[in-house]
């Protein structure tokens, strides 16, 4: 009996949300050229985005922060609250959108700089769609270093949760928060990438966090890592 070839995976459906039509057009031009990505729709603000998503199946939303009527922070919060909705990647101009952190905490899956090149845009969409929360460790690190001063003070509950981690789990969390990838952490700690992933899964479970980005923000909030620290052990 002949073996039937597996059908190709369906394209990743992306919704573009930005109040600048030229920005959306530039993203669409890049994404339309990809055989495994499909632009499912566009919206000019958060209100339009939520209306669109109610009737459109989407896997990933590229969400601007500053928009009229409803900004990307509130729109992200509402998308995440739905539970089974698409993953959200926050679009930030880096120099202006310090409020992007609020959207990350509201449920976004990562950052993307608006001046990112086509390859980084595509990588970000595929990474978030596959379940990875980081677009690129270096990007997350730079943004955290810049905006850590805007993070609120941690409470007793967060500090107590941090104490539930083992020494090795705490070490892994510190390295993740400093922008290191799983492969880099594995090399530094002389363990396998699978072991690092296991530690990361336990960290997320113990801290009741959704993904890697929330873990990074948590590490900064609790003071486990300070702004300006680099990838070395303390």
Query: For the segment 12-27, what is each residue's pLDDT rounded down to a tens digit?
Result: 999 999 999 999 999 9
Measure the CA–CA gap between 216 and 148, rounded to whole angstroms. Answer: 11
Residue 234 has pLDDT above 50, yes or no: no
Lowest mean pLDDT: which of 128-137, 142-151, 198-207? Answer: 142-151
pLDDT: which is higher, 147 or 49: 49
Number of H helices, E strands in the chain: 11, 5
Most confident of 1-15, 132-146, 191-205: 191-205
The mean of the pLDDT values for the chain is 81
Question: Which segments of the chain are extended strands (E)?
Answer: 12-17, 37-43, 60-64, 87-92, 110-113
Cα separation of the two ends of the chain: 60
Mean pLDDT lowest among 89-103, 112-126, 139-153: 139-153
Of 47-51, 102-106, 223-227, highest mean pLDDT: 47-51
Q: Is the per-residue pLDDT at 186 higher than 60?
A: yes
Q: Indicate the pLDDT class of residue 119, thresholds 50, 70 and 90.
A: confident
CA distance readout (Å), 159 to 75, 163, 175? 29, 6, 18
Of the listed ranges 63-67, 68-72, 99-103, 105-109, the least confidently predicted one is 99-103
Report the alpha-carbon distance of residue 88 to residue 107 in Å, rounded.
8
Cβ-based burial of 140 (10 A; exposed 0-12, middle 13-18, buried ≥19) = buried
pTM for the structure as a whole: 0.71
Using an 8 Å Cβ cutoff, are 36 and 13 in contact? no
Answer with the residue of higher pLDDT: 197 or 226.
Answer: 197
217: tokens are: 């923000």
Q: CA 48 to CA 42: how far, in whole Å?
A: 9
* Beta partners for residue 64, in sequence order: 91
Q: What is the DSSP string of 23-79?
A: HHHHHHHHHHT-TTEEEEEEESSHHHHHHHHHHS--SEEEEESS-SSS-HHHHHHHH
CA 19, 47, 147 angle in degrees (round to 5)?
60
Query: Which residue, 150, 154, 122, 149, is CA-closest to 12?
Result: 122
Q: Which of 105-114, 127-136, 213-222 has the lowest mean pLDDT?
A: 127-136
In this structure, of 99-108, 134-143, 208-217, the range with the lowest mean pLDDT score is: 134-143
Instruction: Check residue 171 and give its pLDDT.
Output: 93
CA distance linking residue 180 with residue 214, whole number of Å? 15
């Amino acid at each position: 009996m002949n073996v039937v070839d597996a059908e190709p995976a369906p394209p990743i459906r992306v919704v573009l949300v930005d109040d600048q039509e030229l920005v959306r057009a530039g993203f669409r031009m890049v994404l339309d050229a990809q055989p495994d990505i499909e632009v499912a729709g566009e919206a000019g603000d958060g209100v339009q985005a939520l209306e669109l998503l109610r009737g459109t199946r989407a896997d990933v939303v590229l969400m601007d922060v500053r928009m009229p009527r409803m900004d990307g922070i509130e729109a992200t919060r509402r998308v995440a609250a739905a539970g089974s909705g698409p993953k959200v990647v926050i679009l930030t101009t880096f120099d202006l959108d310090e409020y992007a952190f609020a959207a990350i905490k509201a449920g976004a899956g990562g950052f993307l700089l608006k001046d990112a090149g086509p390859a980084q845009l595509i990588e970000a969409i595929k990474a978030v769609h596959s379940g990875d929360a980081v677009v690129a460790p270096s990007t997350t690190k730079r943004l955290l270093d810049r905006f850590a001063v805007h993070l609120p003070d941690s409470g007793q509950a967060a500090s107590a949760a941090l104490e539930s981690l083992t020494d090795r789990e705490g070490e892994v969390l510190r390295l993740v928060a400093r922008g290191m990838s799983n492969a880099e952490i594995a090399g530094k700690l002389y363990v396998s990438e699978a072991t690092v992933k296991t530690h990361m899964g336990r960290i997320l479970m113990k801290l009741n966090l959704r993904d890697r980005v929330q873990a990074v923000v948590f590490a900064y909030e609790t003071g486990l890592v300070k702004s300006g620290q680099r990838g070395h052990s303390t």
